[in-house]
Structure 1
Amino acid sequence: MFECLSLLTTEPDTAMRNTLSLLLLTLSTTAFAAGGHSHGKAELDIALDGNTLTLALEAPLESLVGFERAPKNANEQERVKKAAEKLRAADKLFVISADAACKLQSVKLASAVIDPALLGEAPAANAAGAKAAGAKEEGHADLDGEFVFRCDKPAAVKSVTVNLFDAFSLLQRVDARAASAKGQHAAKLNGKSRTLSW
């Protein structure tokens, strides 16, 4: 699937490249998720398109907050809020090659079983629909994050160091994949080996 991303560098229409890039990231994450939901692990897709670096994270809620369902009490709601606060400080969790001068532009967080307000997002347009969707995922719910950085020198983006392990003690491994004009790269990251380089 990432082979298709190399075609994006020759496409003249930037809007089309961005659309294709996001579509491929979504497909990649969906395809990887079909491989299985595993506690202590997360998936991270990284795509560099022009000066936009997009990171897409999919992690079992268990790995981030210790449970995989809607919070049942104020203590659990607070755990979700704290996890969301940590994820919103994405420039500390994902350290990009310093020479690239990348700045965090946006963060989007979502889970089928968590109220968007607890994640710092706008309320869902169809709250009843969100609860219905969450009901069928009650046993294995995930949290998805999209982190967008704007890089002044995108050619200098050569690595991303993942510091999620410091923020989330239950997280043991991140399967990371990157796609850029330089090709596709992958690594299994952990607390001792945190950097995907290319």
Structure 2
Amino acid sequence: MQKRIMASILIGLFTGTGATSHAAETMPRQMDAHEHGHGELMMVHEGNNVMIELKLPGVDVVGFEHTPETEEQKNAVSEAIAKLRNAPEIFTLKEKAQCRFVKVQASSPLARDDGDHDHDGKHDEKHDDASHEQHEDEGHAEFRAEYHIHCEAPEHFRSLDVGLFRAFPSLEEIDYQILVPEGQYSGELEADKTLLRF
């Protein structure tokens, strides 16, 4: 069953089908509550492919969770997204595994353009349901990032150093769940404990 879940998640991620969200929902997730100081990391590894998903509270990334009002706040949001997209600064991969980032995405509802709504308050049809949910929950706006990794020697992919505490010092803990061929693990990372071993 576990291998089918991993395969379904990876097929969805790497082919762009909707299998990802369904398969991810079948994994036990205890990390859905929004809590300041606490980020979330989910990693799936099967074969040569690895996917990492991050969810971080906006207040720990940029210091606020409301729509940016000043140029300084808008710049802070843009800089945070650029920082999250700079994957080698966020994750240190072991050279022996010969891994490379093949796709990186980072976003936040705080980065949305106010032009997404008509002046009469109607929602623009371009928005998908996920964007709408993020917009509605803007009181607890988050930053999300997704990293797709391909490893030529995946047997050596046994650990991952997470640099989020250096990038965003107000983070206190990162709750993680990982699904690897050897099993499923969960725990917490802290500023003085950033190495994820599996």
TM-score, with structure 2 as normaliser: 0.79
Partner of 1:177: 177
Q: Which moved more, 1:163-172 or 1:24-33?
A: 24-33
Q: Where in structure 1 do 4 or more consecutive aligned residues deviate above 6 Å?
A: 128-131
Question: Unmatched 5+ residue regions in structure 2?
Answer: 114-123
Alpha-carbon distance between aligned partners in 1 of 2:165 and 2:153, rounded to the nearest angstrom = 27
Aligned residue identity for 1:22: T
Aligned residue identity for 2:25: L
- Within a 5 Å distance, the mapping from 1:87-106 to structure 2 comes to 87-106=84-103
Local SS of the residue matching 1:139: helix
CA contact (8 A) 2:65 2:141 kept: yes
Local SS of the residue matching 2:96: helix
Aligned residue identity for 2:54: L
Aligned residues: 185
Partner of 1:121: none
Partner of 1:23: 21
- Within a 5 Å distance, the mapping from 1:26-37 to structure 2 comes to 26-27=24-25, 31-34=29-32, 36-37=33-34
Distance 1:52 1:130, change over 3 A: closer
- Within a 5 Å distance, the mapping from 1:60-71 to structure 2 comes to 60-71=57-68
CA contact (8 A) 1:5 1:21 kept: no
CA contact (8 A) 1:104 1:147 kept: yes
CA contact (8 A) 2:174 2:190 kept: yes
Aligned residue identity for 1:27: E
CA contact (8 A) 2:74 2:111 kept: no
CA contact (8 A) 1:39 1:60 kept: yes
Please, what is the CA RMSD of the aligned residues? 3.2
**Identity over the aligned pairs, expressed in percent?**
25
Alpha-carbon distance between aligned partners in 2 of 1:52 and 1:127, rounded to the nearest angstrom = 30
Alpha-carbon distance between aligned partners in 2 of 1:188 and 1:57, rounded to the nearest angstrom = 13
Alpha-carbon distance between aligned partners in 2 of 1:129 and 1:21, rounded to the nearest angstrom = 16
Distance 1:82 1:193, change over 3 A: same
CA contact (8 A) 1:113 1:134 kept: no
Distance 1:55 1:195, change over 3 A: same
TM-score, with structure 1 as normaliser: 0.79
Local SS of the residue matching 2:76: helix
Distance 1:144 1:28, change over 3 A: farther
Distance 1:182 1:80, change over 3 A: same
Shift of 1:94: 1.0
Question: Unmatched 5+ residue regions in structure 1?
Answer: 117-123
Alpha-carbon distance between aligned partners in 2 of 1:171 and 1:160, rounded to the nearest angstrom = 18
CA contact (8 A) 2:12 2:20 kept: no
Distance 1:33 1:112, change over 3 A: farther
- Within a 5 Å distance, the mapping from 1:18-57 to structure 2 comes to 22-23=20-21, 26-27=24-25, 31-34=29-32, 36-57=33-54
